[in-house]
Amino acid sequence: MEALSVREYRNNLAASFTKADNGEQVLIRRKNEIYALVKVGREDLMITPELQARIDKAREEIKSGKCVSLKSSEDIDAYFDSL
């Protein structure tokens, strides 16, 4: 599929969104890069139970001190060098 220029995209916003709504691929070219207009469903924006469990576990690890605190780029470099 051919990519729209930014100007073509701006001039055809409604048609571009209609195509995306219908599952068609909409590509936009800006300079040497290509971008895609993608319809995102509500489920894509929600925190799943699995993700919430991982967040809760990470919070508990932080509270219990099972984490590493790195305050500078030097600390980060030293930490990764130690692995």
Note the pTM of the prediction, 2 decimals: 0.53
Length of the chain, please?
Answer: 83
Contacts of residue 25, defined as CB under 8 A and 6 or more positions apart, other chains included, come to: 1, 19, 36
Structure tokens at 9: 């995209």
| Residue 35: strand, helix, or coil | strand
pLDDT per position as a tens digit, 44-73: 888 989 999 999 999 999 999 998 889 999
Q: Are residues 23 and 51 in the same domain?
A: no
Instruction: Please check the confidence at residue 1 and state whether its pLDDT lies above 80.
Output: no
CATH number for the domain including 23?
3.40.1620.10
Q: Please state the domain count of the chain.
A: 2
Domain that holds residue 29: 4-40
Q: Are residues 53 and 77 in the same domain?
A: yes
Q: Are strands 26-30 and 4-5 parallel, antiparallel or unpaired?
A: parallel
